[in-house]
């Protein structure tokens, strides 16, 4: 423990102790969110492999354009890197770097959010157009939710740096957000990989339940 | 557990540089309480319902021919309720303050912890883990009361074999609501009150790792309850607590209440799990190595870990079900490429580990308390820890045994039969540790200890019948019968609820400062236990005779067993009411208990009662394990004397000190 290390105003503990606790908490949250996202991955791969009622593919095989998934992923990666760059700078006492890093990160995340919403609005299918459409909608919707939350966090770090709450001796919150952004990019990567590599179902002999009519 | 000298002292506010105090301590939270939450919740729910009503029409149907418009409105109403309630209780104040850089001062933290607020602190967004523990206790008892009342209605319907009291839809709704209410209640009944109140003290911490998340978890739970309860007025929950697809998709809008509840409760569980686990890993007292951690803490940790990993699967299963209803996706609609088996897999990925989420904390509590009443070290502590984590590991690979008869991947049935039977091994570890600890002990017969015997009995019956059901050939016959219902009640109620009663009785003096009336508490407990045997042993018989579950009309062949079960259920009800009366009466005017009423060696027994705001005046340092009772064990000395006598030919000296 550094001699000049500040103490938490609420508990009186050194801030490094609180930071270590927070880091573990964020890890646990990431584990929980990962298993949630795993549900989406299971759903995608399961329905893709089954091709129930030959209704995996959207009408006219109008698959989603792939580059937006990757563009959003790259945006999130860059946002994470910017936050990390700022955080590392702050640890060396460079407040300007923290301000720049968190601001760039926030703007990238807002851009990713806008891009994600734009992608959802321009999908060549609706959520009811088969299983692929449903799961892809959910990938995009959940990513939009995560990005929105993350931009709140990133902008919060910028705001807190401005307010003098993020300092060289107490920069752990920025580190935690950088860590969270790595997870965010990981989830976007999984979505991008799924939609890129698993389009046409391998099951060409799927069970056929026919078409249903309103009773 | 021996504690040694002080190494860390409390940092009082004046020692620490404080951020600027904005207004009075507590800020906006001074104006937030249960009433404001209720008002804002209702207002936002009504607003959301009204506004969405302007933009939706009643004509469009989803893939299961259910009108989308009303689904959207009801969903918006429930979301409005949850968001409004959480705004009203003050849950969003913390994140906004963080965003604005207005960090809490020591005075703010003191206000949030409920200092100087009298009983009002129980109705607010209070962060003190002891207050949250009491809040969890009240909420879980209310849930158990509601679920128990529904159980009485079910048994009344089944017992009155000469008449039909409810229509089938309402009867099925009662069944489904009873199931999920009890599941939620049982998940929180030990981990909530005792995990929050006792565990931080037991590990030597001043509070939970994240006090504000602690308050968030309990109030999310409170917000989650009304949508579930309201389903009975909105067409009901007719598909059992599992709400299988496509029935759930075609069900009345009451189903949305279930879905919103599970999604909200999922957040509450995840937050509570993160908090408990971080507290246990990071805030243990100096010297409390993993081999000195009380076994109850391991039980809570394991339960939290399973909840953290598996609950999101269940939560997502409900997200998808809700989106099938509201935005017409097709996760579970086969005509549009979905699969109902996807639902069943996602559901049971939590659905089975949840049994251990419920049972482990209770059983670990019994292991913790029995050493106190037997004055013996825990028999094979490491074996118990191995059992707990063996259950955690194997719980991940048993879910398919709920799906043997669904036709999903029949070739996987036998591997899952094997894994399910294997999980009985670590479960047996825990029973053996109990029996080993009891071996040749002289029990101090107080209610918590007597409950251990009751739970061992229930657990053995529940466990053995579970092994039968895990066998694919037997399950083909028993599946969907009352035998299954009796089996899982033996596990969830017989092992889970009776353990919880014992645990609450044991830590009652620490939580309230008063003894739980041993006489009336015991009478209530044993009456409920007797009624329980009557109800569910008879239900096994009905199941073996072939009575299906979830029916309200049945052949007269099953009349006798149903009459007995119903009489038993009423006896359970009477027992529970006696127990509840003992709890309330003891809380109000019971005998004042000393700080360590049973002479336990764990840390929570070493702090004064009522527990001071910061738990410990000085943080303890641990120098031994928590089970140093009767060491050396007099029986071991006796055995040694006998052995020495046999080897050396000298007369044995028995009855060593």
Q: Tens digits of per-residue pLDDT, A156-212?
A: 999 999 999 999 988 999 999 999 999 999 999 999 999 999 999 998 887 776 666
Is residue B11 one of the residues assigned to a domain? no
| Chain-chain contact of A32 with B315 (C-beta, under 8 angstroms) | no
Residue from B103, B111, B330 to probe the interface with A (highest A Cβ count within 10 Å)? B330
Instruction: Return d(Cα B197, Cα B207) in angstroms, integer.
Output: 9
Looking at residue B657, its pLDDT comes to 32
ipTM of the complex: 0.94
Mark which of B125, B142, B158 sits at the end of a domain.
B125
Burial of B162 from C-beta contacts in 10 A (0-12 / 13-18 / 19+): exposed
CA closest to A158 among chain B residues: B99
Residue A160, pLDDT score: 95
Dist CA B583 CA B521 (whole Å): 7
**Predicted structure pTM score:** 0.93
Residue of chain A whose Cα is closest to the Cα of B107: A10
Structure tokens that stand for B276 in this block: 């408990």
Quote the minimal CA–CA distance from B171 to chain A in Å. Answer: 26
Are B58 and B85 in the same domain? yes
Residue B626: pLDDT band by 50, 70, 90 thresholds? Answer: confident
Interface of A with B in 160-179 (CB under 8 A): 160, 162-165
A138 touches chain B (CB under 8 A): yes
| Residue B348 and residue B336 share a domain | yes
Do B133 and B82 lie in one domain? The reply is no
A24 → chain B, closest CA residue: B278
Same structural domain for residues B165 and B114? no
Has residue B63 got a pLDDT over 90? Answer: no
Tokens found for residue B393: 């590991």
Three-state DSSP class for residue B214:
helix
Q: Spell out the domain ranges in chain A.
A: 15-49+65-197
Mean pLDDT of B73-92: 97
> Which among B77, B110, B125 is the end of a domain?
B125
B3, part of any domain: no
Does residue B106 share a domain with residue B170? no
Q: Which residue of A has its CA nearest to B283?
A: A21
Q: What is the pLDDT of residue A195?
A: 93
In this structure, of A88-92, A101-105, B388-392, B406-410, the range with the lowest mean pLDDT score is: B406-410
Sign, CA torsion B51/B228/B310/A48: negative
**CA–CA dist B147, B118 (Å, integer):** 31
Interface of A with B in 30-59 (CB under 8 A): 31-33, 35-36, 38-40, 42-43, 46-47, 50-56
Pick from B337, B310, B456, B482: which is nearest to B391 by CA?
Answer: B310
Chain A environment of B15 (Cβ under 8 Å): 7, 12
- B437 falls within a domain: yes
- Return the SS3 of A211: coil
Residue B313 pLDDT > 80: yes
Does A132 contact chain B (CB < 8 Å)? yes
* Structure tokens, B571: 């006896």
Q: What burial letters (b/e) apply to B454-484, b meaning 16+ CB within 10 Å? A: bbbbbbebbbebbeebbbbebbeebbebbbb
CATH number for region A15-49+65-197: 1.20.120.80
pLDDT of residue B230: 94
pLDDT tens-digit readout, B556-571: 999 999 999 999 999 9
Is the pLDDT at B449 greater than 50? The verdict is yes
Q: Which residue in B343, B403, B245 sits closest to A42, CA to CA?
A: B343
Of B88-92, B105-109, B491-495, B647-651, the least confident: B647-651
Apex B118 CA angle, B116 and B122, nearest 5: 115
Q: Do B282 and A11 touch (CB under 8 A)?
A: no
Q: Do B243 and B113 share a structural domain?
A: no
Which of A24, A133, A211 is closest, CB to CB, to B281?
Answer: A24
Q: What is the DSSP letter of B612?
A: P
**Within a domain: B611:** no
What's the domain range around B643?
A: 629-657
Alpha-carbon Rg for chain A, nearest whole angstrom, is: 21
Q: What's chain A's average pLDDT?
A: 92
**Model confidence at B33: pLDDT above 70:** yes
Specify whether B455 is located in the same domain as B576.
Answer: yes
Q: Cα dihedral angle (B416, B419, B424, B425), rounded to 10 degrees?
A: 170
In a domain, B103, yes or no: yes
Residue A134 touches chain B, beta carbons under 8 Å: yes
Coil vs helix vs strand at A7: strand
**Of B145-154, B396-405, B528-537, where does mean pLDDT reach its minimum?**
B396-405
Per-residue model confidence as pLDDT tens digits over B349-361:
988 899 999 999 9
Residue B378 pLDDT level (bands cut at 50, 70, 90): very high
Nearest CA among A51, A52, A48 for reference residue A40: A48
The pLDDT of residue A214 is 56
Largest CA distance in chain A: 76
- pLDDT, tens digit (0-9, with 9 covering 90-100), for B247-263: 898 899 999 999 999 99
CB contacts of A24 in chain B (<8 Å) are 209, 278, 281-282
**How many separate domains does chain B show?**
3
A53/B336 touch (CB, cutoff 8 Å), yes or no:
yes
| Structure-block tokens of residue B548 | 């299906």
What pLDDT score was predicted for residue A213? 59
For residue A41, the distance in angstroms to the closest alpha carbon of chain B comes to: 11
In which band, very low, low, confident or very high, does the pLDDT at B233 lie, cut at 50, 70 and 90? very high
What gap in Å lies between CA B505 and CA B525, rounded to an integer? 10
Q: Can you name the residues that pair with B622 across neighbouring β-strands?
A: B3
Please, which residues have CB within 8 angstroms of residue B560's CB and are 6 or more apart in sequence?
none
Whether B567 and B657 map to the same domain: the answer is no
Q: Hey, what are B439's tokens?
A: 């071996």
Residue B647 pLDDT:
74
Query: Exposed, middle or buried by CB within 10 Å (0-12, 13-18, 19+), for B565?
Result: buried
d(CA B372, CA B449): 9
Residue A167's nearest CA partner among B19, B370, B516 is B19
Higher pLDDT, B651 or B612: B612
Instruction: Select from B361, B472, B482 the least CA-distant residue to B416.
Output: B472
User: Is position B341 within any domain?
Assistant: yes
Please list the alpha-helical segments (H only) found in B327-402.
Answer: 340-351, 353-374, 381-394
Residue of A12, A130, A137 lying closest to B337 (CB–CB): A130
Point out the least confidently predicted range of B23-32, B284-293, B313-322.
B23-32
Asked whether residue B134 falls in the same domain as residue B121, the answer is no
Same domain, B525 and B638: no
Identify the residue with better confidence: B180 or B637.
B180
Please, which residues have CB within 8 angstroms of residue B321's CB and are 6 or more apart in sequence? B243, B245, B248, B249, B259, B331, B332, B343
The whole-chain average pLDDT of chain B stands at 91
Distance of alpha carbon A174 from alpha carbon B212, whole angstroms? 20
Residues B331 and B453 in one domain: yes
* Angular region, B23: left φ>0, alpha ψ -120 to 50, beta rest: left
Mean pLDDT of the region B388-417: 92
Residues in B closer than 8 angstroms to A212, CB to CB, are: 63, 335
pLDDT value for B655: 37
Answer yes or no: do B53 and B191 share one domain.
no
Query: pLDDT at position B641, please?
Result: 74
Count of other CB atoms within 10 angstroms of residue B534: 19
């Amino acid at each position: 423990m550094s001699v000049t290390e500040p103490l938490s105003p609420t508990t009186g503990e050194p801030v490094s102790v609180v930071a270590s606790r927070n880091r573990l908490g964020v890890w646990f949250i990431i584990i929980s969110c990962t298993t949630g996202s795993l549900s989406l991955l299971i759903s995608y791969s399961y329905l893709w492999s089954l091709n129930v009622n030959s209704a995996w593919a959207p009408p006219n095989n109008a698959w989603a354009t792939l580059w937006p998934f990757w563009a959003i992923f790259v945006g999130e990666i860059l946002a994470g890197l910017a936050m990390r760059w700022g955080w590392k700078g702050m640890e060396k006492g460079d407040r300007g770097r923290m301000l720049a890093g968190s601001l760039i990160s926030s703007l990238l995340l807002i851009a990713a959010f806008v891009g994600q919403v734009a992608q959802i609005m321009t999908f060549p299918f609706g959520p009811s157009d088969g299983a692929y459409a449903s799961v892809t909608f959910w990938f995009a919707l959940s990513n939009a939710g995560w990005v929105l939350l993350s931009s709140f966090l990133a902008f919060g770090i910028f705001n807190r740096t401005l307010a003098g709450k993020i300092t060289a001796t107490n920069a752990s919150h920025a580190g935690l957000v950088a860590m969270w952004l790595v997870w965010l990019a990981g989830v976007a990567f999984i979505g991008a990989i799924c939609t890129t590599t698993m389009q046409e179902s391998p099951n060409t002999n799927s069970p056929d339940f026919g078409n249903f009519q309103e009773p | 557990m021996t504690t040694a000298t002080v190494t860390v002292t409390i940092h009082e506010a004046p020692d620490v540089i404080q951020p600027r105090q904005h207004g009075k301590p507590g800020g906006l939270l001074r104006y937030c309480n249960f009433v404001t939450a209720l008002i804002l919740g209702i207002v936002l729910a009504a607003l959301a319902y009204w506004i969405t009503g302007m933009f939706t029409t009643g004509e469009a149907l989803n893939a299961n021919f259910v009108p989308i418009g009303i689904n959207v409105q009801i969903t918006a109403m429930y979301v409005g309720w949850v968001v409004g309630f959480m705004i009203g209780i003050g849950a969003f104040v913390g994140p906004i303050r963080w965003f604005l850089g207005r960090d809490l001062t020591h005075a703010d933290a003191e206000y949030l912890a409920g200092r100087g607020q009298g009983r009002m602190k129980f109705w607010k967004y209070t962060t003190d883990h002891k207050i949250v523990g009491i809040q969890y206790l009240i909420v879980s008892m209310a849930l158990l009361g509601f679920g128990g009342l529904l159980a009485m209605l079910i048994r009344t319907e089944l017992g009155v074999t000469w008449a039909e009291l409810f229509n089938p839809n309402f009867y099925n709704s009662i069944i489904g609501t009873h199931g999920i209410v009890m599941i939620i209640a049982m998940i929180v009944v030990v981990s909530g009150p005792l995990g929050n109140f006792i565990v931080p003290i037991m590990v030597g911490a001043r509070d939970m790792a994240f006090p504000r998340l602690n308050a968030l978890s309990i109030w999310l739970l409170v917000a989650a309850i009304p949508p579930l309860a309201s389903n009975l007025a909105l067409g009901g929950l007719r598909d059992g607590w599992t709400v299988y697809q496509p029935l759930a998709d075609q069900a009345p809008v009451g189903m949305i209440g279930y879905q919103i509840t599970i999604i909200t409760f999922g957040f509450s569980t995840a937050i509570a799990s993160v908090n408990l686990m971080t507290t246990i890993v990071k805030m243990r007292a100096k010297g409390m190595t993993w081999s000195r951690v009380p076994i109850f803490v391991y039980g809570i940790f394991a339960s939290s870990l399973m909840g953290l990993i598996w609950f999101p699967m269940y939560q997502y299963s409900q997200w998808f079900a809700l989106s099938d209803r509201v935005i017409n996706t097709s996760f579970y609609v086969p005509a549009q490429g979905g699969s109902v088996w996807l639902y069943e897999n996602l559901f049971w990925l939590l659905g089975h580990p949840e049994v251990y989420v419920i049972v482990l904390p209770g059983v670990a509590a019994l292991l913790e308390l029995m050493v106190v009443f037997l004055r013996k070290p825990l028999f094979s502590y490491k074996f118990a820890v191995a059992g707990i984590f063996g259950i955690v590991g194997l719980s991940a690979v048993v879910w398919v045994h709920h799906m043997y008869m669904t036709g999903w991947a029949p070739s996987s049935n036998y591997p899952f039969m094997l894994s399910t039977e294997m999980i009985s091994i670590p479960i047996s570890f825990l029973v053996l540790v109990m029996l080993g600890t009891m071996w040749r002990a002289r029990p101090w017969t107080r209610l918590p200890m007597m409950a251990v015997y009751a739970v061992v009995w229930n657990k053995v019956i529940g466990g053995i019948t579970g092994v039968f059901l895990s066998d694919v050939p037997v399950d083909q016959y028993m599946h969907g019968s009352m035998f299954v219902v009796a089996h899982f009640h033996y596990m969830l109620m017989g092992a889970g609820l009776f353990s919880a009663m014992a645990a609450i009785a044991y830590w009652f003096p620490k939580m309230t400062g008063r003894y739980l009336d041993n006489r009336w508490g015991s009478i209530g407990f044993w009456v409920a236990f007797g009624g329980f045997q009557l109800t569910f042993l008879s239900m096994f018989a009905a199941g073996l005779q072939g009575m299906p579950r979830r029916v309200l009309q049945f052949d007269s062949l099953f009349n006798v067993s149903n009459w007995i079960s119903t009489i038993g259920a009423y006896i359970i009800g009477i027992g529970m009411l006696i127990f509840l009366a003992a709890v309330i009466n003891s809380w109000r005017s019971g005998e004042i208990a000393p700080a360590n009423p049973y002479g336990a060696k764990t840390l929570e027994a070493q702090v004064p009662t009522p527990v001071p705001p910061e738990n410990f005046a000085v943080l303890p340092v641990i120098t031994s394990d928590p089970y140093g009772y009767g060491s050396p064990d007099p029986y071991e000395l006796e055995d040694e004397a006998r052995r020495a006598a046999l080897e050396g030919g000298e007369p044995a000296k028995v009855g060593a000190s």
